[in-house]
Structure 1
Amino acid sequence: MIGRRRSRASDGRPRVTVYSRPGCHLCDDAREVVAAVCDELGEEFEEISIDGDADLAARFGHEIPVTFVDGRQHDFWRVSPERLRAALTR
């Protein structure tokens, strides 16, 4: 939407982070939900691939996609648009 200010966390980063990996169908689904909700609410999100990062792969390898809101883990495997919307509007 033209003229809509995009919200960011206090550290300047997007409020929503999605940890994923290429070729993951659940990650593709999560990205669509996150993008739609963020667009609706004027938020930004970032997506970080766990591939190539041993620490991230060890932490999230069996739970991707994993979403964080405001630096705290919010969901894994599936993203509920209702839950994400509620977390972003609190």
Structure 2
Amino acid sequence: MALADITPIAAEFGVALEVIDVDRALDPEIKVEYGDLVPVVLLDGEQHSCWGVDPDELRADLAAALR
């Protein structure tokens, strides 16, 4: 339930959340790169976490990214 964990954190920081279904992505490279890592979280285009989300770590990294 990564989406359920991430949604309130994104709202807390006022950041946009983009959800991409890797199996239906228009770019086939997305499935190749991330298909085995779902759920995967990218922060500023870089892989932040996969297979799960540590809410405290995500909050800290978002706070640092928004400074």
Provide TM-score, normalisation by structure 1. 0.63
Structure 2 counterpart of 1:55, from 9, 17, 29: 29
Work out whether 1:80 is the aligned partner of 2:54: yes
Larger Rg: 1
Identity between Structure 1 and Structure 2 (%): 32
Higher helix share: 2
What is the aligned length?
62
Q: What's 1:41 paired with?
A: 13
2: distance between equivalents of 1:39 and 1:77?
Answer: 21
Structure 1: gaps (5+ residues)? 1-28
CA RMSD of aligned residues (A): 1.1
Provide TM-score, normalisation by structure 2. 0.82
Structure 2: gaps (5+ residues)? none
Higher strand share: 1
Runs (4 or more) in structure 1 with deviation over 6 Å come to none
